[in-house]
A and B are shown apart, each in its own frame.
Chain A
Amino acid sequence: MSAGGTAARRWRKPPLIRNPFLRYGIFLAAAVYVYWALSTLPFDWERIQEGLPRAARIFQGAFPPSFERSNLLIKGFVESVQIAIIATIFGLIISVPVAFMAARNLAPMPVYLLGRAIVIVARSFHPVIVAILFVKAVGFGPLAGILTLTVYSLGFVAKLLAERIEEIDWGQVEAVRATGAGYFTTLLYAVFPQIMPRQIGLGIYQLDSNLRASAVVGIVGAGGIGATLMNAFGRYDYDFALAITMVIIAVILVSEAVSGRIRKKIW
């Protein structure tokens, strides 16, 4: 069945970016950027070359991991767990009112802006930076860690809870209001049941997150197993450091698995 006379038609896949100038322009810009970035970044090549033999020495020193000072390890770990728990509880409690403030459909404009601003400030800084500031304000130790992770939890939970509040089924609220219920009763019967599963899920996720983060904020003095790790590194006790790291990884894995299970059940 020849359709006589169809001339040969060329075909190429249409490129992602139509304009050839734009396309090659972007490639060129990317190449220039990479070159510039790599050249302005200061690499201390001499020191780097010492790296591989150093790495070998460190790994030799690190094996086998030493659990001799396990009481220190356990103490640090327990403190991290406590920090995580307390920070999660306080964080969850504070984030409920803040989330309501930051929800466009429930809060008047000035309150909404304030709520959003709180959330943005809480999220902009890496928890380590926040930890340093708290350490300077209230001193070393788990107190700084708790305050840091409360702020960290607030930034995460309040934001997501506010988004959930903005997505609630307004029909349910109307229905309850139509029965003549007051403001807080309406909240209780129409809004809370819609956001509670999310809040619990977020709480469990945040507990897991805080557990990981508490290992890290300890590095700058905010208590927990991070401080233990930092000490070990500082004293070149690499075998102890490896032991600590292994415990941290194990705890994170267990916590992630448990939190995943519980969240699935609640959903």
Chain B
Amino acid sequence: MVSRAAAPPAHREWHRYTPGQRLIRFLSYLLVVAVAVWAIGDVDIIWPWFFDAPNAMADLFGRMVPPDFSRMDAIVAALLQTLNIATIATVFAVLLSLPVAYIAAQNTTPNRACLWLGRFILVSSRSVNTLIWALLFVAIFGPGVLAGILAITFRSIGFLGKLIGEAIEEIDRKPVEAIEATGASRGKVILYAIVPQVVPTFFAVSILRWDINLRESTVLGLVGAGGIGLLLQGAIDTFQWQTVAAILLAIIALVLVGEAVSGWLRRKVI
């Protein structure tokens, strides 16, 4: 029963956020700006140099063209070595990460001690950067490819173990229930109900890590752990910028090939 001569609608406020939310948003903005101001103000750089940086880069770039491919055979050999380090280390890491993932997954770990051990291994492996691992192994085993392989392996175990462990935790429990109901022992339940569900993630993650490791292996040589990094460091130290350019182009080529191969593998296997 709405009367025709109704009064105009009462004046009602509308805000996008409640007062509480607005306060939080305001404080968050304030925090971000404060942090930014502190960081910019306090950092130990000379700001005019920052704005001069494009010039400096252009200058460096100018010295790199045209790239000098005369040492191509040494470059290709180093590239192959880099590829081998990455591949072999990834294979080792994949094998070693499986038991760790198993004990680090809440639904398959035998007991709490194993769970914490597994998590500890994964966390330490992931938190120490590949290059820092490389430093350590160079100090222990001396410069060379062994340090590089170990560094990549150790870092990859954390990456693989975490993702595979998460895949194990996310499986559909129903087939597990069914296989348990047939009277199968734990090992056979894992084999038939858990492993088939984890296989796609396993392959995806392994191929992804190989791709990443290819990139990581290119810099191992900078700390003496093998691969093309050594050549690169040498060229840079002797200011042979055109050779540096050639090496950089070779690295781009390796990375692009690696991406193509890993993309193809992913389509075929998964």
Do B87 and A54 touch across chains, with their CB atoms under 8 A apart? Answer: no
- Picked from B45, B80, B84, the residue with its CB within 8 Å of the CB of A146 is B45
- Picked from A58, A82, A133, A147, the residue with its CB within 8 Å of the CB of B42 is A82
Interface string of B127-163 (1 = CB under 8 A from A): 1110110010001111011100100000000000000
- Picked from A37, A55, A82, A220, the residue with its CB within 8 Å of the CB of B43 is A82
With a cutoff of 8 Å between Cβ atoms, the chain A residues found around residue B91 in the complex are: 34
How far is it, in angstroms, between the C-alpha of A137 and the C-alpha of B40 when the chains are bound? 21
Do B140 and A129 touch across chains, with their CB atoms under 8 A apart? Answer: no
Within 8 A of B (CB), among A120-156: 121, 124-126, 128-129, 132-134, 136-139, 141-143, 146-147
Q: Would A143 and B131 be within 8 Å (CB), given that A40-B84, A89-B36 are in contact? A: no
Q: Would A143 and B123 be within 8 Å (CB), given that A85-B39, A133-B60, A216-B131 are in contact? A: no
B14 within 8 A of A: no
Q: Would A37 and B87 be within 8 Å (CB), given that A147-B53, A245-B132 are in contact? A: yes
Residue from B49, B135, B216 having most chain A Cβ neighbours under 10 A: B135
Q: Would A137 and B88 be within 8 Å (CB), given that A126-B218, A129-B232 are in contact? A: no
B103 within 8 A of A: no
With a cutoff of 8 Å between Cβ atoms, the chain A residues found around residue B135 in the complex are: 219, 229-230, 233
The residue on B at minimum CB distance from A220 is: B222
The residue on B at minimum CB distance from A135 is: B236
Q: Which of B164-172, B177-185, B251-259 contacts A (4 or more CB under 8 A)?
A: B251-259
Do A137 and B123 touch across chains, with their CB atoms under 8 A apart? Answer: no
Interface string of B241-253 (1 = CB under 8 A from A): 0000000100110
How far is it, in angstroms, between the C-alpha of A189 and the C-alpha of B234 when the chains are bound? 53
With a cutoff of 8 Å between Cβ atoms, the chain A residues found around residue B129 in the complex are: 212-213, 215-216
Count of A interface residues, CB-CB < 8 Å:
57
B204 within 8 A of A: no
Q: Would A219 and B223 be within 8 Å (CB), given that A58-B140, A85-B39 are in contact? A: yes
- B229 to chain A: closest CB distance in Å? 8
Do B215 and A126 touch across chains, with their CB atoms under 8 A apart? Answer: yes
- A166 to chain B: closest CB distance in Å? 18
B219 within 8 A of A: yes
Do A141 and B131 touch across chains, with their CB atoms under 8 A apart? Answer: no
Do A229 and B132 touch across chains, with their CB atoms under 8 A apart? Answer: yes
Tell me whether chain B's interface is mostly helix, strand or loop, or mixed.
helix
With a cutoff of 8 Å between Cβ atoms, the chain B residues found around residue A212 in the complex are: 127, 129
How far is it, in angstroms, between the C-alpha of A163 and the C-alpha of B100 when the chains are bound? 33
How far is it, in angstroms, between the C-alpha of A38 and the C-alpha of B222 when the chains are bound? 22
With a cutoff of 8 Å between Cβ atoms, the chain B residues found around residue A215 in the complex are: 129, 132
- Picked from B50, B88, B142, the residue with its CB within 8 Å of the CB of A34 is B88
- Picked from A40, A47, A136, A142, the residue with its CB within 8 Å of the CB of B141 is A47
The residue on A at minimum CB distance from B87 is: A37
- B42 to chain A: closest CB distance in Å? 6
- B163 to chain A: closest CB distance in Å? 15
How far is it, in angstroms, between the C-alpha of A162 and the C-alpha of B240 when the chains are bound? 37
Q: What are the nearest 3 A-B pairs in CB distance?
A: A47-B142, A37-B84, A51-B141
Contacts from A to B (Cβ < 8 Å): 33-34, 37-38, 40-44, 47-48, 50-51, 54-55, 58, 78-79, 81-83, 85-86, 89, 121, 124-126, 128-129, 132-134, 136-139, 141-143, 146-147, 212-213, 215-216, 219-220, 223, 229-230, 233, 245, 248-249, 252-253
A sample of 15 more A-B contacts (CB under 8 A), given A37-B87, A42-B226, is A38-B88, A44-B142, A47-B144, A50-B142, A51-B141, A55-B140, A78-B42, A79-B44, A82-B43, A137-B57, A142-B43, A143-B49, A220-B222, A245-B128, A249-B128
14 pairs across A/B with beta carbons < 8 Å? Answer: A40-B80, A41-B226, A42-B145, A47-B142, A54-B140, A79-B43, A81-B39, A124-B215, A126-B219, A133-B60, A136-B236, A146-B43, A212-B129, A216-B129
